[in-house]
Amino acid sequence: MDWFIVITTLNLAAIYGLLAIGISIIWSSLNMVNMAHGLTFAVSGYCAWLAATYISPHPAMVLVAGIAGGAVMGAIICSIAFLPLHDRPNFTVRSLITTLAINLIGIQLLLQIFGPRMKPLPRIFGTWSVSFGDTFLTGDKLGTILTSTIILTLILVWIVKSRYGLQIRAMMQNPEGAALVGIDVRFTAMRVMIITGALAGLASVLLSQTFFVNPNAGLQPLIKGLIIALVGGLGSMTGAVVAAFIMALIEAVTATYLSGQYVLIGQFLFIIIVLLIRPRGIGGMLDEFRE
C-alpha cells in the first residue's frame, strides 16, 4: 500500500468535501450557484492571517478568525445576491451573474489592499510527524482529516436531527412548499449562507497549512468544489462526500505517477464519464440503489 497516496487522498477529500457540500446545500436549498464561494475562501484566509499577525498566532485564534470571516462573507453575499433577487424572475441567472461580479470585484479589492504577495499561516496543528514506511503523516494533514471529518459529521447530524436543519432540508426538497407551510425563506437562506461560508472559511485555513494565502487562492477550490458538487449530484450531500473522495484519489494518483499538469485532465475525464453514464451524478445513482 502506498501510504503517500492514502494520506494525500484523505487530506484532499477532507477539504474538497467541505467546499462541495457547501455549494451543494446552497444550490439545492436556494437554487443559487454561488460563484463568490472562492472569494469567501480567500477572504477567510486573509482574516486568519490578520488575526495571526496582529492579534495572536494561537491555533484557536487562527481557526476562529478564518471561520468567522467565512460566515460574515456568507451573510454579505446573501444580503446582496439572494435577499433582493430571490422573488424575481430568472433568479438563478441573476444570482449567478451577481455572485460572479462579487467574486471578481472582491479579488481586485484584495489585490489592492494586500498586494499579490502570498501570506503564510502558522502551523495550527504543530510540526510533528509520524512515519509510515517511506511516508510521513504530518500534523497538519492529520489535523485536517480529523477536523473536517468531525465538522462534516456534526453538520450532517444537525441537518438531519435539528429543527433548523429540517427547515433547510424542506427547502432542499421543495422551496415553494416550505414557504407555504410557514418556513421563513429569507431567514433560512441567511442561515444556509452563514453555515456554508463558515465551512469555506474552515477549508481555507486547513488548505492554507499547505498553500499560502493570496487573492486568487479561492479560484481552484471554487472550480474543484463546483465539479465535485456536480459529479456528486447537486443537492446530494452523500454524493458530494463520495465524489470528493474519488476526485481526491484521482488527483493523488495522477500527481504521483504522472505529473501535476495531468490532474485536471484526469478529473475532467472522470466527470465526463460519470455524467454520460449517470446524468444525475453519484447522488442519483445512490438514490436508485436505495429504491
Residue 137 lies in a domain: yes
Say what the alpha-carbon torsion angle 91, 278, 264, 77 is, to the nearest 10 degrees: 20
In a domain, 125, yes or no: yes
**pLDDT-derived band of residue 288, with 50, 70 and 90 as boundaries?**
low
DSSP 260: G
Burial degree of 222 (CB within 10 A; 0-12, 13-18, 19+): buried
DSSP 184: -
Instruction: Report d(CA 174, CA 189) in Å as an integer.
Output: 14
The whole-number pLDDT of residue 190 equals 92
Res 41: pLDDT:
92
- Quick one: pLDDT band at residue 69, thresholds 50, 70, 90? very high
Regarding predicted confidence, which is higher, 199 or 239? Answer: 199
Task: Assess contact for 23 and 233: CB atoms under 8 A.
Answer: no
- Residue of 248, 283, 262, 282 whose CA lies nearest to 12: 248
105-114, 176-185, 209-218, range with the lowest pLDDT: 176-185
Tell me whether residue 229 is in a domain.
no
| pLDDT value of position 228 | 86
pLDDT of 290 higher than 60: no
Residue 129 lies in a domain: yes
- Full domain range(s) for residue 157: 14-218
Write the pLDDT tens digit of every residue in 32-48: 888 999 999 999 999 99
C-alpha cell at 6: 492514502
Q: Is residue 276 part of a domain?
A: no
Q: What mean pLDDT do residues 173-194 have?
A: 83
Q: In this structure, is the dihedral angle defined by the CA atoms of residues 151, 157, 160 and 165, taken in order, positive or negative?
A: negative
What's the mean pLDDT when you consider all of the chain?
Answer: 86
173 residue type, one letter: Q
**Confidence band for 85, pLDDT divided at 50, 70 and 90:** confident
Block residue for cell numbers 454524493 = 239
Pairing of strands 135-138, 129-132: antiparallel
Residue 144 lies in a domain: yes
As a whole number of angstroms, the distance between CA 159 and CA 180 comes to 20
Closest CA to 226 of 273, 281, 185: 281
Q: Which amino acid is at 103?
A: N
**Residue 194: what pLDDT?**
94
Instruction: Give the confidence band of 285 by pLDDT, cuts at 50, 70, 90.
Output: low
- Round to whole Å and give the CA distance between 254 and 26: 30
Tell me if 1 is assigned to some domain: no
Are the C-beta atoms of 201 and 14 separated by less than 8 Å? no
Nearest-angstrom CA–CA distance, 3 and 5: 5
Q: Per residue in 129-178, pLDDT tens?
A: 777 767 777 778 888 888 888 988 888 888 888 888 888 888 877 777 87
Q: How confident is the model at residue 1 (pLDDT cuts 50, 70, 90)?
A: low
The type of residue at 235 is G
**Is residue 278 within 8 Å of residue 285, measured between CB atoms?**
yes
What local confidence, expressed as pLDDT, does residue 284 receive? 63
Model pLDDT, residue 224: 85
Is the distance from CB of 237 to CB of 18 less than 8 angstroms?
Answer: no
The domain total for the chain is: 1
- What pLDDT does 94 receive? 92
- pLDDT attached to residue 42: 93
Residue 270, domain member (yes or no): no
